[in-house]
Amino acid sequence: MEFSELTDFDFHPRLAASPGVAVVMFSGPDCGACKRIEKHLPDWFGKQANHLYKVDAQRSTGLARAYDVFHLPSLFVFVDGRYHAPLQAEASPKPMRAALEKLLSEPPHEEP
């Protein structure tokens, strides 16, 4: 599974058409941590996530503001096209998997 890019113009329609679990990563072209995470997340999440998306926070500033993105990378989880929660964990396989599993067992948060 690879990351697909989302923009201000297609963010909501594409997520709405994404069944299952989608992880959205806000990143930037000069963000080294973003590149590292992008390289590893497909393996780390395996079958936990059905879709991986990324948003360039520098180009899609409206989305970055809407989701209160203050640091990169920032991860958010959507379930069946609806916002579920922000994903915050140490950037390594076990903590990321555990954090996603925990979030999915909880009720959805309010969208920012």
- 112 part of a folded domain: no
Contact 34, 7 (CB under 8 A): no
Return all residues near 107 (Cβ < 8 A) that are at least 6 apart: none
Which runs of E-coded beta strand occur in the chain? 3-6, 21-27, 51-56, 74-79, 82-87
- 111 part of a folded domain: no
Count of structural domains within the chain: 1
- 16 part of a folded domain: yes
Instruction: Walk along the chain (112 residues) and give the pLDDT tens digit of each residue.
Output: 899 999 999 999 999 999 999 999 999 999 999 999 999 999 999 899 999 999 999 999 999 999 999 999 999 999 999 999 999 999 999 999 999 999 999 999 999 9
Distance CA 16, CA 57 (A): 20
Name which of 28, 2, 29, 24 is nearest 12 in CA terms: 24
- 87 part of a folded domain: yes
- 99 part of a folded domain: yes
- 79 part of a folded domain: yes
- 110 part of a folded domain: no
Write out the residue range of the structural domain in which residue 22 sits: 3-105
What is the domain-level CATH number for residue 87? 3.40.30.10
Distance CA 19, CA 61 (A): 26
Query: For position 29, what pLDDT does the model report?
Result: 93
Query: For position 78, what pLDDT does the model report?
Result: 98
